A and B are shown apart, each in its own frame.
Chain A
Amino acid sequence: MTVMSYLGAIGAAQREAMEADPRVIIMGEDVEANVYGTMGGGKSRADKGDFLQMFGARRIRNTPISEEAMVGAAAGAAMTGLRPIVDLSYSSFLYMAMDQLVNQVAKNRYMFGGQASLPVVFRSAMFFGLNTGAHHSDRPYPMFMNVPGLKIMVPATPSDAKGLLRTAVDMDDPVLSFEACILWGLKEEVDEGEYRIPFGVARTHRHGNDVTIVGISTGVHAALQAAQKLEAEGISAEVIDPRTMVPLDSDAILNSVARTGRLVIVDPAHTTCGAAAEISAIVAEKAFDCLRGPIMRVTTPDTQIPFSPAIEKQLYPDAAKTIAAVKRTMEARTRAA
């Protein structure tokens, strides 16, 4: 076990995957110089291993700024023997490659009757909360949840990032990984040996009896902070991180709500058609009888992200909003039986 940052954990997983299988390659803008810190163990090229030196230019490739070609080429390469990891830098840039992601990556195995498999991983960072403005702050995972054929991971901790990414590379299905930039520096004790976290298995960070709080990405940390404060007020909150949105461990959420009767979902994506909306629908459909109060969503409102530091942060879910949501669902009364 060693202390690793979120970014370092991603680097460690990539290094493991590159060492384990010569078919794994990393391609993306600026990957050779380790600009984002995921292409080596440490902060600079020389520090703790430089992927370009370790693996060579055949397998570590800087790409031109050509998201459509990058994504499509990675898909075509995956269909013909390689296992690419594509670094798309900022999640907001995925849209440049929407056709390739939706019409090729998600569909080729299906349309061609199983002749293809696409063992490819597309990583990108969500820069919300860091004063980068509307073009760099998107949290697009809900859009892709609506596209059958893709798998989606949204790690909230270093240990989750490492184990999930390793699974993603080993998997023969295409994976989109959404990594919140604001978590890059988060540190945790992480097993530096090989381990894999399966997709579709949630992590319960904290057990509780009064309310289930599902957190996604930064929402996990807001939920944990809220849970701590709520405990002092005598409210016992269970905090669950699904970790993968597709496949989603809905059983874990349903089993928890069956005990607590209350659900709050903390999701930094926008309110309308966000991941929180999907989870709400699942629980309303399948655990209606267990619910003792309304399902509450704590999400980023349906407005675009402003640049000014004075007004950006207020938009995102935080502990205070989560606590307010918990209290709202706890005080509401259900219909008389």
Chain B
Amino acid sequence: MTRPNDLLLEMQKRMLRIRFFDERASKMVKRGEIPGTVHTSIGQEAQVVGACMALAEGDYMTGNHRSHGHPIGKGAALGPLMAELTGKATGVCGGKGGSMHLADFKVGSLGESGIVGSSIPIATGAALSSKVLGTGRVSLAFFGDGAANQGCLYEAMNLSSVWDLPIVFLCENNQYALSTPAHTVTAGVIAERAAGFAMPGVRVEDGQDVLKVHDAVKTAVDRARAGQGPSLVEVITYRFNEHSEGLKLGTDYRNPAEREAWMKRDPIKMFRAHLIDKGIADAVVLDALEAEVAAEVEAAYQFAEESDYPAASVAFKDLYTEPFGVTQ
């Protein structure tokens, strides 16, 4: 596939945004600035951005607790995301969602779910409305290797196949569900389960390569948009940090040598080298890009810092469109 240079640079930019945002978020958790925890996408940027950028602006997406990368990958503004992590009124969900429940409907991000697998049927529904209303939009459901064993995935795959829905099921296989290695709890190969539901299943072995991910997901997205129905794409990747910031299980379940080997395959460093190698951008341009994104993240941090918390009454808002009782 030929891709215009500005698309490639945008890919690097979004990967950098995810990296810097999550590194900052990780620091904020360490310093008690973010209540609860965050689940970072550090190391998985190529998998997230390659997929998100295969979608059109009006397309829909749902995701999971490892959430920040998804709306960022789809082009959401960083300030309201950062403010949401700190529970401020200016957060993208008004402070009501937090890290695990980010949603930015302006960019088609219909919500990250804190329940593993639970948002897959929601993405299926977005594909259904696209089909019934004839809007031509495609829907993409992000889920992990852990969610790949939830029943609702298979119900959704079956339903999508039977109804020819324009959806891509994207498994972010970072090989561990918290502390459980995927292969110990997963029968067979996830991508091969697609055949059982009469849809194509593709496994991207090198999920650290943003272009390989983009290729595979774009094929699936185009298929869906052309009315040819759903696909399953499984992307093999690795999370460099712990399952959640603050957890200290570390070597209890992951071999340090394995982690080191994967960290040598840093998607951002690899793509930078690729861009330079192919003459698409030089070090000066790419350094400036990094500086630009670093400034963006810093500005987002300041925005979050300076924003106010929501009023107590906000806890009673947005439950119903026609409220009653305490939610009035």
Contact = CB atoms under 8 A, between A and B. Distances in A.
> Is there a direct interface between A and B, measured as CB atoms under 8 Å apart in the complex?
yes
Interface string A107-128: 0111111111100000000000
Interface in A221-264: 247
A148 B113 CA distance: 18
Contacts of A103: 113-115, 118
B89 to A, nearest CB: 10
B257 interface: no
Interface in B310-328: 317-322, 324-325, 327
A77 B320 contact: no
Contact of B111 (A23, A59, A116, A172): A116
A113 B93 contact: yes
B204 to A, nearest CB: 25
A114 B316 CA distance: 12
A116 B126 contact: no
A304 interface: no
Nearest to B321: A172
Contacts of B319: 109-110, 148-149
Nearest to A74: B125
B121 interface: yes
Contacts of A108: 111, 122
Contact of B327 (A79, A116, A148): A148
B105 A115 contact: yes
Give the interface centre of A64, A74, A77, A112 by most chain B CB atoms within 10 Å. Answer: A112
Interface stretch (B31-39, B129-137, B280-288, B289-297): B129-137
Contacts, number: 156
Contacts of A117: 321
Interface string B256-278: 00000000000000000000000
Interface stretch (A11-19, A65-73, A158-166): A65-73
B317 A114 contact: yes
Contact of B320 (A64, A81, A104, A149): A149
- B92, B95, B115, B132: most-surrounded residue (chain A CB, <10 A): B132
A99 interface: yes
Contacts of B170: none
B321 A72 contact: no
Contacts of A148: 319, 327
B65 to A, nearest CB: 13
B129 A112 contact: no
Given A112-B101, A149-B319, A75 B152 contact: no
B136 to A, nearest CB: 13
Given A61-B163, A69-B152, A113-B94, A76 B115 contact: no
B200 interface: no
Nearest to B110: A79
Given A25-B132, A72-B124, A100-B121, A112 B159 contact: no
Given A99-B115, A109-B321, A116-B110, A77 B129 contact: yes
Interface centre among B120, B122, B133 (most CB of A within 10 A): B122
Interface residues of B, number: 53
A129 interface: no
Contacts of A146: none
A80 interface: yes
B327 A77 contact: no
A59 B163 CA distance: 12
Contact of A68 (B103, B121, B321): B121
Contact of B151 (A68, A79, A111, A173): A68
A113 B318 contact: yes
A82 B111 CA distance: 18
A71 B159 CA distance: 12
Contacts of A200: 324
B308 interface: no
Contacts of A271: none
Contacts of B321: 109, 117, 171-173
B124 A69 contact: yes
B46 interface: no
A238 to B, nearest CB: 24
Q: Which of A74, A171, A200 has the most CB of B within 10 A?
A: A74
B123 A110 contact: no
Interface in B142-171: 151-152, 155-156, 158-159, 162-163
A81 B110 CA distance: 13
Nearest to B80: A113
Contact of B159 (A25, A63, A109, A110): A63
Contacts of A100: 118, 121, 152
A58 interface: yes
A283 interface: no
Interface of A: 23, 25, 58-59, 61, 63-64, 66, 68-82, 99-100, 103-104, 108-117, 148-149, 151, 171-173, 200, 247
Q: List the 8 closest pairs (A to B, CB-CB), nearest first.
A: A72-B121, A76-B125, A113-B94, A69-B155, A76-B122, A113-B93, A66-B155, A73-B125
